[in-house]
Amino acid sequence: MTAAPLHYRNQRLMLDPSGAAFWPARRVLFVADLHLETSIMATRGTLEKLNRLIRLYRPAKLIVLGGCGAGRTGGERLSDAERARLTALSREAQFIWVNSTQAKPDTLCETLEEYRDGPFTFRHQASARLGPRDIEISGYFNPLASIDTKARRISRPCFVTDSSRLILPAFGAPTGGIDVRDASIAKLFPHGLRVFLLGQDQLFSFALGQLGRMAEVA
């Protein structure tokens, strides 16, 4: 798979077609919304995908935006085998779980409301306002974007970015999503945005004005 570089100030991030992102300078891998409360097969697939990424990038830290289950009993919905697999993965890197204060606590992991590392602030849900020097990385929205090809319209999960924000797609099994042109996302990017659509082995980059019509892969 081919990762796409994304620069914030003097820091380079690598956006992975899996929906994860990697910060090479600090060896930090981050993902959003594992959705481990979904079906057993979907959860197993998510954990295996996470395992492959850990082996590929060898991170020192893995930041997960969103809890490890939905609500107080989320972790309890995992089978013993899945709980053991998640515990084993947490030995490969320092896991940092970041979730909103509105969410009920998980029984499998302890979460932080936000986490700061270097110039980046990690939150599960994007804040309405940022300071002039803030760079925020978040999840929550499960963003989707559509483009028109010669054959049909394609809708895919995507990264959403500008000079001060990066919203990650859901890493876990799809549970719906929000179009990037929806006001809930668009209002966070008053000066415009760029998306990176997830392909099978690569990412496809488009400006907001290219979405929903014929566009060429950047």
Q: What confidence score (pLDDT) does residue 64 get?
A: 96
**pLDDT band at residue 102 under the 50/70/90 scheme:** low
pTM of the model: 0.90
Secondary structure (DSSP) of the chain? ---EEEEETTEEEEE-TTS-EEETTTTEEEEE---TTS-HHHHHHHHHHHHHHHHHH--SEEEEES-SSSSTTTGGGS-HHHHHHHHHHHTTSEEEEE--TTSPPPSS--EESEEEETTEEEESS--S---TT-EEEE-SS-EEEEEE-SS-EEEEEEEEE-SSEEEPPPSSS----EETTSHHHHTT-TT--EEEEE-SSSEEEEEGGGTTSB----
9 domain residue, yes or no:
yes
pLDDT in tens, 1-59: 789 999 998 999 999 999 999 999 999 999 999 988 778 888 999 999 999 999 999 99
Q: What is the CATH number of the domain that holds 21?
A: 3.60.21
If one counts the domains in the chain, the total is: 1
The answer to whether residue 27 sits within a structural domain is yes
Q: Does any domain span residue 216?
A: no
Higher pLDDT, 208 or 53: 53
- Asked, for residue 218, whether it belongs to a domain, the answer is no
> Rounded mean pLDDT of 188-204?
94
User: Mean pLDDT across the stretch 59-66?
Assistant: 96
Structural domain that includes position 61: 4-210
Please report whether residue 217 resides in a domain: no
In a domain, 64, yes or no: yes
**pLDDT tens for each residue of 148-186:** 777 788 889 999 999 999 999 999 987 789 999 999 999
**Residue at 108 is within a domain:** yes
**Residue 139, in any domain of the structure:** yes
